[in-house]
Amino acid sequence: MAKKDIRALSQTQLNEVFKEIGEPAFRAKQVYEWLWSKSETDFSQMSNLSKKLREFLVENYVINAVQISELQVSSDKTIKCAMRLHDNYVVESVLIPHQERMTACISSQVGCSLTCKFCGTGKLKRMRNLNADEIYDQVVLVKKTAAEKYNAPLTNIVYMGMGEPLLNYKEVLDSVEKITSPDGLNMSPKRITVSTAGVAKMIVKLADDKVKFNLALSLHAANDEKRNYIMPINETNTLDNLAEALNYFIEKTGTRPTFEYIVFKDFNDSLEDARELVEFCRKVKGKVNIIEYNPIDDGEFRQTTPERLRAFTNYLEENGVICNVRRSRGKDIDAACGQLANKNKLAAQQLK
């Protein structure tokens, strides 16, 4: 018989397993602690368990651990990690070092189904969703990389890697629970941001579930016609629908979203585009992160000029919109926003 994935079991289910084999309940708690607090992926290293119990676990269960298959270090010290899954698919995670923080950018799907025109991941097929433990493992491995390479703790997590997190809702929320729980990595949910291309009904569900993490919307145009062109998901999740869902989210959680806005030359960087963005920010209170465009293979867009960018941001600020310009990190290793496209050879073959 195939071995079961032990990390797919809840602590209650582990209790039942141990009860059936005559082990006391505290053994289940010990195993759960090894898995989620100590991030152990080898049963033989669970030193406070009896040899007989460790043998039982080895014979009946498996830990489908994620492994780093390749590391690339950018000239700006950003590190891209190719993460190999148990079935040999590969996703990418990024460690982004700043002066005061270390951020892990993690993936939620193998590939993506949304086909955003400006995104390298959008050119890949979605092969499958990641399990909560695979998302958790990315955080653990990036955290270890930060400690080993920069002797620094991981401070922030952004679900902005490959895939659309809200189309993998349950596993994403389960992973957040494992990362934030005192029985897990015990990180603050306020240090976590989940980014969505805009799935209105799932934003409403986040609100109803009263999540405590931050929410970011990949906006990139405050005009339905333009947004439909670059992000086909907007055809069924219009700006009005998103505004309604986001205001409901704010009402239920007390947390305002961040709007991510990539500026493309001669497409969404005019003062008229800035005016439309101001109008959207009046409908939904939130701050704006202006992001440099990072070219991708066969991309039709170009980075805007410094002059147009300055005029755009000045207009926002003059009209009361809080905005920050985010400089791209890791462009030289294709680790910047929109560039995660699995360019290592094995991954590329698998995602064709």
**Residue 225 catalytic?**
no
**Residue 307 catalytic?**
no
- Candidates 197, 199, 220; CA nearest to 292 is 220
Distance CA 141, CA 108 (A): 15
Q: Which one of the listed residues 92, 134, 164, 276 is annotated catalytic?
A: 92
DSSP H stretches of helix in 43-89: 51-60
- Candidates 211, 134, 195; CA nearest to 163 is 195
3-state secondary structure of 108: coil
DSSP H stretches of helix in 162-233: 169-180, 200-208, 224-230
Which amino acid is located at 144 in the chain? K
Q: Which one of the listed residues 81, 119, 281, 337 is annotated catalytic?
A: 337
Q: Tell me the two tokens of residue 4.
A: 């079961």
- Bridge partners for 68 per DSSP: 83
DSSP E strands, 160-232 = 192-196, 214-218
- HSE toward the beta carbon, residue 311, CA cutoff 13 A: 13
- Candidates 201, 272, 284; CA nearest to 247 is 284
Which residues are annotated as catalytic? 92, 337
